[in-house]
A and B are shown apart, each in its own frame.
Chain A
Amino acid sequence: MLRVLITGLIFAAFPIASTLPFTLFTGESARKYLPATMPGGVAVFDADNDGLLDLFFPNGAPLPAGRKAHALHGNRLFRNLGAMKFEDRTAASGLVGTGYDFGAAAGDYDRDGHVDLLVSGLRGIALYRNRGLGVFEDVTAKSGLDNLGRWSVGAAWLDIDNDGDLDLFVVNYVRWDPTTEKACVVEGQPDFCHPRFYEPQPNALFRNNGDGTFSDISESSGIGKHAGKGMAAAVADFDLDGKMDIFVTNDRTFNFLFRNVGGGRFEEVAFDWGVAVPASGNPPSAMGADAQDFDNDGRPDLVYTALRDETFPLYRNTGREFADATVSSRMSILTRAMAGWGIVFADLDNDGFKDIVAARGEVLSGTGSRGPIAKEPLSWLRNTDGKVFAAGEAIVAPKALYRGLAVADLDNDGCPDLVATSLQAAAQVIRRVCPVENKWLKVQVDAPGARVEVNGQWRHVTYTSGYASAYHGPLLFGLGRKSTANVRVTWTDGTVRHLESVKANQLIMVKR
């Protein structure tokens, strides 16, 4: 078994990057098939229940076949050994996969205490049930999950009906047929085609029947009536009515906001809530998305990535709609020159304000006309006061065509670390050391949709992460200089539990 040592990490205030022996295979060739620019995410979750967060990477395959033909194409699972050491456990995990995969969603759909995986791919989805100790079995067929062969970039586990088990939302991108795909040229060189050349697809919603099977409720829920070019889903109870809603970014078409109206039904309200399209009126290349409360007012806000000159739109939730805060927060200036994919709200310095971390990289080919500028760094956009963002410290990692991103405390030191994927390059694991004067608290609540308030900051339990990625682990709160915290957990049924003067720098489990 390959033991990977991520050693020699220097303790410093700046993030330090190291690589995993996993190279994201894209299948890119001179023909520039569109799927080759779209992988891939990362899932961070505790696969073996040892208290350490493990890493799963979906992987590509040769195109146009889209079938894995070599070990280099396999999906990979890395077990966290602690102290930022990981070992490759793919062979024993049963997660290698067969097709061209993009995203992963982590969630315990069968409530057996082991976190399962949904892998989204070019020609469908696969459900892997965790049998314990990080060994998975493919239960797609017997679960009844069927994405009808559609190209799915990502997925999100959420409890749409508050029955305690996880339902599944699948983000579908476009119809792709290699036999009819146009050969495109950008600035005189072959490159990936614009999304306008591909037909949109509806997303899919599956209700968990509670017995290991799922029912396709895409049509009855209203979700299936809306065709888009879905890139990512951010899940939150945006209107605080106790039911989880879904925001979907669409590539150069209007975004969707599916408001959960109960009874297994959703209404699409993106225009009413002001998030269908940015203030300019131009639908951008909306990519990854995240929903958390950046201004500490208790309402989940929204951010998503887009391409150069489109800026990363940031929205403040007012309770009735979203106010476009892209200009007032200075995100418009900070992100104007960025092309982004993964994006996550995370308090990187534990100062009590959620920052924004973005995985960046050009959508066009690194071998095309954008060659010299296609690779970009990871970026930290620091939340200065809940209103305005500023450039954070440089994240020490090479420029690359970054795609997937997750933020997680991988070494259990109370400081968030980063995992990022990039096309045809090794995955980066970036250890961060937070300022020692800033305290932290980790809160574990195994109830999707539950809202957790810690000293006036809010997070909700969600398992999506930016683009094609997932995070299933404790919620991390930075406390600044405060050494204690008041904690309030609100479950989706309105049940509330208060914990007063909880000591900082620890992980607490909160149960109903």
Chain B
Amino acid sequence: MIWLLLLAQLQDPATLSQQGSQALRERRYPDAERAYRQLLKVEPANPAWHMNLGIVLHSAGRYRDAVPEFEAFLRARPAPGPVHLLLGLSRLKLTQPCEAIPVLEKARMWNAEQAVVELADAYYGCRRFAQAARTYEAALATKHKSPAVARQAGHCYWEARQYPEAKRLFSGVTQQFANEADYNYEYGDTLVRLEGPESGLAYLEKAVAKQPDLLAARGELGKALQALGRAAEAIPHLEAASKGDPVLLLPLSRAYRAAGRTAEAEQTQAEYRKRVTTP
């Protein structure tokens, strides 16, 4: 009899809900999960229990399990709201940025400021760099304004090959990132492309000085030096960088030739033709 009474009490939705929310507040996630699963047995069509269970699972770091619960909620309540943000965050945690984009776009419709950085992260993760850049830049007009976000916006414009925009953002954070090799490489590369090799050379040299094994920077530095007629200086950088990127064997062969090292030039060009299958 007592057992039946207890069961009736446990199956009472109000009680279960209270237990679930309290357990969640106290980070007793297994208890909270048990309560909401119980509720879903009683009221399987109630989207609120799906949402709450999703929150519990998300909070417990079980993002894969949280996703179907958020999706079940959104099927019943598709209007833009916080669950879109939660689902988007779960997708991001699962490294599914492309899948996160549509829900985070809806989350942004619900609250532009809240979801903007997460949406930018999703675009970035999905390699939609131009949209990522514009979204990070939009975040700069919100509470998220910071040199790091500006740097990231510049980085995305650089990835998207929108160099004037990248330059605009990079130039505003030079002080904060002056000692970062990647920053000097990207800014230097941007200046080379926009204004010529002489403009970006100092940044590329700094990037290489800070991190000699940053081969992409060494490749760009080598090409810039070669374009400036400084073949002998270009050669060591191109030799190093071409070990990771066979495309650089061609500028290396031309640098050898300009430096009078004809045999090496021919050998390197032959190596380039052998190794570079056209993209």
Give A residues with C-beta under 8 Å from B.
Answer: 187-188, 196, 252-254, 271, 277, 279-283, 308-309, 327, 330, 332-333, 336-337, 369
- In the complex, which residues of chain B have a beta carbon less than 8 angstroms from the beta carbon of A187? 128, 130-131
A35 to chain B, nearest CB (A): 21
Which one of B140-148, B177-185, B247-255 is at the interface? B247-255
Tell whether, in the assembled complex, residue B196 and residue A330 are in contact, meaning their CB atoms are under 8 Å apart. Answer: yes
* B75-110 at interface with A (beta carbon < 8 Å): 98, 101
In contact, A281 and B272 (Cβ under 8 angstroms): yes
Contact A279 B227 (CB under 8 A): yes
Is the pair A277, B164 in contact by a Cβ cutoff of 8 Å?
no
Q: Which residues of B contact A327 (CB under 8 A)?
A: 196-197, 227
The one of A279, A281, A333 that contacts B249, using a Cβ cutoff of 8 Å: A281
* Interface residues as binary, B96-138 with A (CB distance below 8 Å gives 1, 0 otherwise): 0010010000000000000000000000001010110000000
Interface contact A279-B279, CB-CB below 8 Å? no
Complex: A495 Cα to B276 Cα, angstroms: 45
Please pick, from B226, B251, B269, the residue contacting A271 in the complex, using a CB distance under 8 A. Answer: B269
For chain B, the bracket of interface size reads 20 to 34
Alpha-carbon separation in the docked complex, A277 to B247 (Å): 10
The DSSP consensus for interface residues of chain B is: helix
Contacts of A332 in B (CB 8 A): 193, 196
- Nearest residue (CB) in B for A281 is B250
Q: Complex formed: what's the CA distance from A309 to B161 in Å?
A: 7
Question: Of A277, A283, A333, which is within 8 A of B194 by CB?
Answer: A333
Contact between chains at B101 and A254 (CB < 8 Å): no
Report which B residues bind A (CB closer than 8 A): 98, 101, 126, 128, 130-131, 161, 163-164, 193-197, 223, 226-227, 247-251, 254, 269, 272-273, 276, 278-279
Q: List 20 A-B contacts (CB under 8 A).
A: A187-B128, A187-B130, A188-B126, A253-B278, A271-B269, A279-B227, A279-B251, A280-B223, A280-B247, A280-B250, A280-B251, A281-B276, A282-B279, A283-B279, A309-B163, A309-B193, A327-B196, A327-B227, A337-B163, A369-B128
Q: Do B247 and A282 have beta carbons less than 8 Å apart?
A: yes
B130, A277: Cβ atoms under 8 Å?
no
Q: What distance in Å separates the Cβ of B96 from its nearest Cβ neighbour in chain A?
A: 14
Give the chain B neighbours of A283 by CB distance below 8 A: 278-279
CB distance from A92 to the nearest CB of B (A): 46
Interface pair A337/B130, CB less than 8 Å apart: no
With A187-B128, A188-B101 known, 5 other A-B pairs at CB within 8 A are A188-B98, A188-B131, A196-B279, A336-B194, A337-B164
Q: A271-B269, A309-B193, A333-B196 in contact; A279/B130 too (CB < 8 A)? A: no
> How far apart are the CA atoms of A369 and B278 in the complex, in Å?
25
B196 pairs with A279, CB closer than 8 A = no
Q: How far is the CA of A309 from the CA of B190 in the complex (A)?
A: 11
What is the bound-complex CA distance between A327 and B194, given in angstroms?
A: 11
With A252-B279, A333-B195, A336-B193 already in contact, the answer to whether A279 and B131 are too (CB < 8 A) is no
Residues of A within 8 A of B272 (CB): 281
- The answer for the CA separation of A253 and B98 in the assembled complex, in Å, is 30
In whole Å, how far is B156's beta carbon from the nearest beta carbon of chain A? 12
Which of A280, A337, A369 is packed against the most chain B CB atoms within 10 Å? A280
Shortest 10 CB-CB contacts between residues of A and residues of B: A281-B250, A281-B247, A253-B278, A309-B161, A327-B227, A187-B128, A283-B278, A336-B193, A252-B279, A282-B247
Pair A308/B279 contact, Cβ less than 8 Å: no
Q: Is B163 a contact partner of A336 (Cβ separation < 8 A)?
A: yes
Known: A187-B130, A327-B196, A327-B197. A279 touches B163 (CB 8 A): no
CB distance from B241 to the nearest CB of A (A): 11
Contacts of B161 in A (CB 8 A): 308-309
Measured between beta carbons, the chain A residues less than 8 angstroms from B197 are 327
Contact A254 B164, beta carbon cutoff 8 Å = no
Residues of A contacting B278 in the complex (Cβ-Cβ under 8 angstroms)? 252-254, 283
Q: Please determine whether A279 and B223 come into contact, CB atoms closer than 8 angstroms.
A: yes
Q: How far is the CA of A124 from the CA of B117 in the complex (A)?
A: 52
Q: Choose from A188, A282, A308 the contact partner of B128 (Cβ within 8 Å).
A: A188
Tell me which residues across on chain A come within 8 A of B196, comparing CB atoms. Answer: 327, 330, 332-333
Q: What's the nearest-Cβ distance from chain B to residue A93, in Å?
A: 40
B250 CB to nearest A CB, Å: 3
Q: How far is the CA of A369 from the CA of B193 in the complex (A)?
A: 23
A464 to B38, CA, bound (A): 77
Q: Roughly how many angstroms separate A252 CA and B277 CA in the complex, as a whole number?
A: 10
For the complex, give the distance between the alpha carbons of A254 and B226 in Å. 21
CA distance A188 to B195 in the complex (A): 32
Give the residue of B101, B131, B164, B248 whose beta carbon is less than 8 angstroms from that of A281. Answer: B248
Q: Chain B's nearest CB lies how many Å from the CB of A199?
A: 12
Q: Max chain B CB contacts within 10 Å: which of A279, A281, A283?
A: A281
Residue of A nearest to B248 (CB): A281
How many Å from the CB of A363 to the closest CB on chain B?
14
Shortest CB–CB separation between residue B126 and chain A, in angstroms? Answer: 8
